[in-house]
Amino acid sequence: MIYLVYVSTATTLLSDEELGDILHVSRRNNEAADITGMLLYRNGNFIQTLEGPPQAVRETYERIFRDPRHKSVIKILERPTEVRNFAGWSMGFRNADKLSGEDKKAINVFLSEPSDPKTADARGGLVYKLLLNFRDAVSG
């Protein structure tokens, strides 16, 4: 099993209804492919982690990469894992546009810094921890 974290930008800002439609289809597809994960959306930007069987995760990422609703799709982390950190979630979701305080600040800092291949691994680890914090907040 692996987990993969990527960032991307939507080609247009998405309404709550459009986000809901994306989530509905993603959850259905992810459940069928045995993929779990978490998606954050902020002002047209996505941060997502996918976890599951390597082939299924990579195929899903490639589908996202080719999706015309995304641009600047960047894989920032891919690692093997023994356990699912988002078990039971075919796709957890937070609209970070609706956050406040430290959570919003953390996302803003990440999304405002340019991507540098030299620091992608360290940044990927931080993003994954951020996603885990959102998981805990939503579950708690």
pLDDT, one tens digit for every residue, the chain (140 residues):
999 999 888 999 999 999 999 999 999 999 999 999 988 888 888 889 999 999 999 999 999 999 998 888 988 889 999 999 888 888 888 777 666 666 556 655 555 554 554 555 555 666 666 666 655 655 54
* Cα 59 to Cα 103: distance, rounded to the nearest angstrom: 30
Q: What is the domain range of residue 100?
A: 2-139
CA nearest neighbour of 14 among 110, 114, 95: 95
CATH value at residue 11: 3.30.70.100
pLDDT score, position 114: 45
Number of domain units in the chain: 1
pLDDT score, position 127: 66
Q: What is the pTM of this model?
A: 0.76
CA nearest neighbour of 94 among 133, 39, 43: 39
